[in-house]
Structure 1
Amino acid sequence: MTIQDDITASDVGMNETRLARIPGYFGANYLDTGKLPCMATLVSRNGQVVHEAYRGKTQLDGGEPINADTIFRIYSMTKPITSVAAMMLFEESKIRLDHEVFRYIPEFENTEVWVKGTTDDYETRKPTRPMQVRDLFTHTSGLTYGFLYQHEVDALYRREKIARPDETLEEMCARLAGLPLLFSPGTRWNYSHSTDVLGRVVEVASGQTLDQFFRERIFGPLNMVDTDFYVPEDKLGRLMACYNKDAVTGKVTQSDGAGEESKQYRSQPPLLNAGGGLVSTLRDYHRFCLMLLHGGRLDGEQLLSPKTVEFMRQNHLPENKTIRQMGDKTFSEARMDGNGFGLGGSVVTHVAETMQPGSLGTFSWGGLANTFFWIDYEEELIAIQATQMIPSGCYPIRPQFQQLVYAAIDW
């Protein structure tokens, strides 16, 4: 797909005046008030970029102005990439969605479900059925996250330090399999380490480490030159700082530094965090989204079949149940109302319930530090935004961005 410099917003049915409101809105309401360090936004339609804006700096108290080369921690926007990797192997018949996870990770054969008790003394039972690969895509595996603070199983994750940065994905999954599930697989939706386990399935099925698979099979073909699990030394100056806003006190602290001051991304990590470990730029991630919008193909590189992409963005949750109706009340990376869940991201199943303009089948997801993307197939629209403030949803910037973008559609 060639991006044409002479294409204007009006040529693809977008209102330039209304698109111009986007950076001003976030500047006045979040940057000028010191709530956020920056805001980067990108919108394309029919494959043509019609809006791209970078406001703010790499640090709240200074730093350099951000630009198209700025590298962001995309956290859970890693999940759709891992899901694409798994579906590439699915197309090669190296994995199946109905396969038990223990076929790839034997430790999961004897994983049981929490019944009752405390973290020091608890009862478990056998699951109704084994965890399947499809459960890893859809977060119906029974796994959880330690940071959810919703259940004793979460506390077990914290006590056992699941996802330690000094362990490998293989080691993490082996330890995870020794802890009880929150529920029997396939019975509920719960945001979790599911995609991390899926990343390990990719490693086993492909015979490659996850970073090797990503670079050779996805990042290289898509020319995603700034996306990886770490930032090379010659690019460190482009990595901005990341911040955390306390939900109770509202106090903002720095969670990781910019550039060479970063403690997390200066070198290749042992743990290839398949659910949240990547860094990227807006332009890189836009190329990934363009591939999905165009049925798995970009610039002559065919990563997936159009039918596979269509299959991924179906609602794969049980019939007549959305994420919200499945009982989710915990942290997530995107609004759940009116959404089901596909293979790697949320899918709009009821536009009115989202309380936003949009289209059925829109595919989206976000990241912990308030990064977000969506792909509206009906409108051939891609939108991406990024800042670096944890947790996601600490400000309503995602729905606000959606309102501003859809208001700019003329035809």
Structure 2
Amino acid sequence: MSALTLASPESAGMSRAAFDRIEDHLKSRYIDAGRFPGTQLVVYRRGKLVHSAVQGFADLERKAAMKDDTIFRIYSMTKPITSIAFMMLVEEGRVALDEPVHRYIPEWKNLGVFQAGIAPAFLTRPPSRPMLIVDLLRHTSGLTYGFQQRSNVDAAYREMKIGEVEKAGTLQSMIEELAKIPLEFSPGEAWNYSVSTDVIGYLIGMISGKPFEQFLKERIFEPLEMKDTDFFVPAGKAHRFAACYSASPQGAMTFHASERKGGLTLQDDPATSPFLSPPSFISGGGGLCSTAADYLTFCRALLNGGELSAVRLVGPKTLALMTSNHLPGGRTLPEMSRSLFSEATYHGIGFGLGFSVTLDPALTLIPGSAGEYAWGGAATTSFWIDAAEELVAIFMTQVLPSTAYPIRRELRTMIYAAITDSNL
């Protein structure tokens, strides 16, 4: 972590012994047991980097060690970055959250809600109201992901390869294909993890008048000096790119794996990965690669009210809006969700504009603070930000799917246990 000097945990009210226990836990339970190839854990509190540790391998086949500057596929940890980028345009008065999406995507104006049938012969009904911009940011749009595998609409997404990070096609072709498929439900009636954030990326490009990836580079990555965050890994950095593995998962979210290796199956070889070249489909929902150091820079800006080192992304009131629960009626994810898969545990959790939001730690049965916000990626990367405790935690590995092991719950419990001087 070259940008920050490692401070003692005690200087920020945390326990070195507790962090040693966490690293021992990761080594014995996950790395030595063959569940994870390697891990990286970064904890930042009260303006100090108090823990930064790597263990194991970034690439088992080549015995390449995990390092501080290893580059990871962060998948859905792309979503908070895309959401922040969109809110920059909202702050500039160029778009509003309560506008109908069809104002910007006219071909979606007559999208119906699924009733019966299979593609292309769907029976639909009109939605009870139009899809709004806010529905895209909070996943109440009626869109879905093909990997949910719960409906005929999901099946149509899979058939058309909609929202797949490594697919051919473009954001424009995704928008055109989605115009042919009905919504899962009327906007605002339910929460469903979906390609909504990819649509937000499309809208950023349309409203800003420049390619989505260029907007991110000019407005976020370059100002914050996030030099290792992009939609592909250039040749000069390929030696730092981690391999991605599958845990041979059971359940709804499955991934093709090409080669079994002990308890892990190689899913994406960094020497031949599609992430080594610029994609045609720029996925605001899951396309970025990054490092723990870069993502910490982004999180520090959020923890600091939207600004870091004189670079302001959004204002503190905008960030407060984004990290409030936006589920209709103040409901929680268990009350609203139709997803068979999500990057968040449900109880006591709401959803804001690009983040899950903890409403009541007692209901989560995990230590934490009301108002903390978080998300994760499909390959088991994750982060959370707790403004009350001035805390950021980032965990990196590369194992699909993120639901294979309860690592997020364990890390939250153990990292909060490391706090010796609480702000509450």
User: In structure 1, what is the equivalent of residue 133 of structure 2?
Assistant: 133
Length-normalised TM-score, structure 2: 0.93
Partners of 1:338 and 1:351 within 8 A in 2: yes
**In the TM superposition, what are the counterparts of 1:5-404 in structure 2 within 5 Å?**
5=5, 7-119=7-119, 121-163=121-163, 165-248=167-250, 252-258=264-270, 261-404=271-414
Structure 1: how far apart are the matches of 2:113 and 2:282?
A: 27
Q: Percent identity?
A: 46
1:230-249 per-position Cα deviation (integer Å, ceiling 9, x unaligned)? 00110011001101122249
Q: SS at 1:319's partner residue?
A: helix
Q: SS at 2:324's partner residue?
A: coil
Structure 1: how far apart are the matches of 2:397 and 2:7?
A: 27
How many residues align? The count is: 408
> Structure 1: which 5+ residue stretches go unaligned?
none
How far apart are 1:329 and its partner, in Å? 4.6
> Structure 2: which 5+ residue stretches go unaligned?
252-259
Length-normalised TM-score, structure 1: 0.96
Partners of 1:112 and 1:180 within 8 A in 2: yes
Partners of 1:245 and 1:394 within 8 A in 2: yes
1:301-355 per-position Cα deviation (integer Å, ceiling 9, x unaligned)? 1111111111110000012410111143510112121100000010001111111
Residue identity matched to 1:308? T
How far apart are 1:149 and its partner, in Å? 0.5
Alpha carbons of 1:106 and 1:386: their partners in 2 closer, same or farther (altered >3 Å)?
Answer: same
Partners of 2:327 and 2:352 within 8 A in 1: yes
Runs of 4+ in 1 over 6 A off after TM superposition: none
Alpha carbons of 1:202 and 1:120: their partners in 2 closer, same or farther (altered >3 Å)?
Answer: closer
**RMSD over aligned Cα, in angstroms?**
1.6
Structure 2: how far apart are the matches of 1:58 and 1:276?
A: 20
Q: Does 1:408 pair with 2:410?
A: no
Structure 2: how far apart are the matches of 1:389 and 1:218?
A: 27
Partners of 2:163 and 2:198 within 8 A in 1: no
Structure 2: how far apart are the matches of 1:358 and 1:21?
A: 19
Partners of 2:122 and 2:182 within 8 A in 1: no
Greater displacement, 23-32 / 120-129: 120-129
How far apart are 1:34 and its partner, in Å? 1.1
Partners of 1:36 and 1:60 within 8 A in 2: no
Structure 2: how far apart are the matches of 1:322 and 1:6?
A: 37
Structure 2: how far apart are the matches of 1:86 and 1:366?
A: 19
Alpha carbons of 1:4 and 1:136: their partners in 2 closer, same or farther (altered >3 Å)?
Answer: closer
Residue identity matched to 1:64? A
How far apart are 1:203 and its partner, in Å? 0.7
Q: SS at 2:116's partner residue?
A: strand
Partners of 2:59 and 2:243 within 8 A in 1: yes
Partners of 1:241 and 1:262 within 8 A in 2: no
